[in-house]
Each structure stands twice: as structure tokens, then as C-alpha cells.
Amino acid sequence: MPATLIKGKPIADRIRAEVAEQVREIGHIGLVTVLVGDDPASEVYIRLKHKAAVEAGIDATDLRLSADTSEVELLEKVEELDSDQDVDAILVQLPLPKQIDEARIIRALAPAKDVDGFHPFNAGQLYLGRPTLVPATPLGVMAMLAEHRIDLDGARAVVIGRSDIVGKPMAHLLMQANATVTICHSHTKDLARHTLDADVLVAAVGVPAMVSPDMVKTGSVVVDVGINRTDAGIVGDVDPGAAEIAAYLTPVPGGVGPMTIACLLQNAVRCARYRRGELVYPA
Ligand code: NAP
């Protein structure tokens, strides 16, 4: 029997409706997104995030800076937003132009306004098992698994990819849900040996269809985080043929993508609650 598709949109729609309700309750949530330059993929992401934020009633400001913005100029802008009492949440769209050190900009964000959860303090809290603001994509994956009541306790989970944005936080969340986690990357030898053992397999690589059906364990749960633009349109990191082997599979498009945006909005609510003292941000 082909795999059950874990579609992101219905879950994301529900989360977005919940966020809209919370925004009404809080009254005002200020989100500023900063896009430096005119990278076409980043433009699309910013547009989608904005539309979703506005639909949820979030007061979203779309700040655009030219591609030749210097690191000092961007740092000054971030510091200004950090101390702006109308701003609850700040998102600096990555990648940044070459002349700007991304790590330096992320470190300059006020941690409690870091809606992406990329600041070292927030990453550290996740590492310590006391999550504060967690990157939206892995949060979205966890929500999808929870929706389908996937039992992670004691499950063997394999994450392919170790980026700070997806792979690492994903592995931590799975470990905190009591899965036994293996992280694979471009230096991993005999990748299939690991993936074939995975009850839960998360692919976050950026290589079209690199997970072939013969790398998937029968009856497993396969989460495809990949978004790859090809001549055939947007495809994931998992060959759709995996649906013949797995019990659950997230489709691309329409899987993890919509969840990322919904969970980003949830994070904006969290930022607003931190700033109002309704949630305590660790000192
Ligand atoms: P990234 O920073 O480029 O990281 C890719 C990871 O994959 C790296 O850890 C890399 O290993 C590993 N890798 C590359 N080739 C490999 C191979 N042949 N075998 C095993 N591992 C390999 O990418 P990312 O930001 O994590 O994004 C990953 C994918 O998810 C991309 O397609 C991206 O577009 C997509 N994405 C989707 C969403 C969403 O909302 N659905 C959100 C974010 C990202 P090394 O560390 O050794 O280089």
C-alpha cells in the first residue's frame, strides 16, 4: 500500500488560524523582515512570509536594503530594531551578500526578538534541552509528526544534513523526543546503511531525489525537507518512489514548506509574549 502523505497545508492552516487568534488577544505584534539585495529565491520567501504574517494580523514591515549595504550599516539597523519598542520580532533573510558576515549579524540580534531562532543563545538553549526560539522548519517537522501520532520514543531517527538552520536543530528536537538520532552529512560513508535502519528519516540536503526508494526502510516515516528548483519544477530530496516503501511521506511541494511559515508566525507570537513578560525569557 502506498505511503500516507503527510500534507503540510491543512496543519499549517490550522496553526495560522490559531496564531491569528493569539494576535487578536495580544493586540499588536510587530515583525520586521530585512532583505538585503535582490536574490530572487529570497524575494519569494520574504513575500510568502509577509503575506502570511499580514493575514494573521501581525504588523509586518518589509525592510529592503540595497545589495551594497555594508556590514556596519546592517549592524546599525539591527541595533535600531533591537531597541525599538514597537518591534517584537526581527528576521534577517539569509543568505546575506558576501561583504557581510552573517554570524556577526545574527549575534547582533536581541535573542528574544530572534524569530528564526538562529542566535547562538537560542541555539544553545536548544542544545541544553531548554528550547526558547527554535528554527521554524524543524519545528514544523515535529508538528507534522505529532499530528500523525508518530511514536518517536525509542525510534531510530536519521537526519541527513547538519546545517544550523535545519539538520542540527532537527536532530536535537528528535533526541529530546527520545528518538535515537544519527546525523549524516556529505562525509558519511555508506549513507544507505544508515538510512535503511531509520524508522524516521529526515532529508535536508538540497540534492534532488538523492534518497532513492532502495535507501528507505519498509514501513518507515520519511520527511522530505528539500526544496530544489529543477527544469521539472520544485522537487524534494526524496525520490517520490519512496512512497511505495515508506508508511508515511511528506510531499514536495505542499509538505514541510507551508509548515515552516506557520511555525515562523508561532515564533513571532512567542517573541511578543517574551517582550510582554507573559513568557519568561531566560536571563
Ligand atoms: P545546507 O546548509 O546546504 O546543508 C545541506 C546539508 O546536506 C549539509 O550538512 C551537507 O553536508 C549535507 N549534504 C550535502 N550533500 C550530501 C550528500 N551527498 N550526502 C549526505 N549529505 C549531504 O542546506 P539547508 O539550509 O539545511 O537546506 C537543505 C534543504 O532543505 C535545501 O533543499 C533547502 O532548500 C531546503 N529547505 C527547506 C525548507 C522548507 O521550508 N521546506 C527550509 C529550509 C531549507 P556537509 O555539512 O558535510 O556539507
CA nearest ligand 1 atom 35, residue: 226
Angle between helices 136-147 and 8-26 (to 10 degrees): 110
Q: How far is CA 37 from CA 95, 102, 114, 227, 228, in A?
A: 10, 14, 21, 21, 21
CA nearest ligand 1 atom 2, residue: 163
Residue type (1 letter), 93: Q
Ligand 1 mean position, distance from CA 26 (Å): 36
CB of 93 closer than 6 A to ligand 1?
no
For residues 143 and 11, the answer to whether their CB atoms sit within 8 Å is yes
Mutation test of ligand 1: which of 205, 211, 238 has the most ligand atoms closer than 8 Å to its C-beta? 205
CB of 42 closer than 6 A to ligand 1?
no
- pLDDT cut 70: percent of the chain above it: 100
Confidence at residue 241, expressed as pLDDT on a 0 to 100 scale: 97
Ligand 1 mean position, distance from CA 204 (Å): 4
Closest ligand 1 atom, residue 187 Cα: 47
Ligand 1 mean position, distance from CA 262 (Å): 21
Ligand 1 mean position, distance from CA 115 (Å): 21
Helix (H) or strand (E) holding 281: none
Q: Averaged over 69-97, what is the pLDDT?
A: 98
Q: Averaged over 65-72, what is the pLDDT?
A: 98
Question: In the chain, what is the greatest distance between 2 CA atoms, to the nearest angstrom?
Answer: 57
Q: Which three cell numbers stand for residue 224?
A: 522530505
Question: Residue 257 above 90 pLDDT?
Answer: yes
pLDDT, tens only, 166-184? 999 999 999 999 999 999 9
Closest ligand 1 atom, residue 166 Cα: 26
CB of 158 closer than 6 A to ligand 1?
no
Can you give the pTM of this predicted structure? 0.98
Q: Averaged over 97-115, what is the pLDDT?
A: 98
Confidence at residue 283, expressed as pLDDT on a 0 to 100 scale: 82
Confidence at residue 98, expressed as pLDDT on a 0 to 100 scale: 97
CB of 165 closer than 6 A to ligand 1?
yes
CB of 227 closer than 6 A to ligand 1?
yes
Q: Are strands 89-92 and 156-160 parallel, antiparallel or unpaired?
A: unpaired
pLDDT, tens only, 125-156? 999 999 999 999 999 999 999 999 999 999 99
Ligand 1 mean position, distance from CA 210 (Å): 11
For residues 197 and 190, the answer to whether their CB atoms sit within 8 Å is no
pLDDT, tens only, 233-244? 999 999 999 999
Taking residue 192's Cβ as centre, other Cβ atoms within 10 Å add up to 12
Mutation test of ligand 1: which of 165, 185, 224 has the most ligand atoms closer than 8 Å to its C-beta? 185
Distance of CA 132 to the CA centre of its chain: 14
Question: Residue 22 above 90 pLDDT?
Answer: yes
Ligand 1 mean position, distance from CA 168 (Å): 11
Instruction: Give the residue numbers annotated as catalytic, written as ranges.
Output: 49, 93, 116
Helix, strand, coil percent values for the chain (each to nearest 5): 40, 15, 40
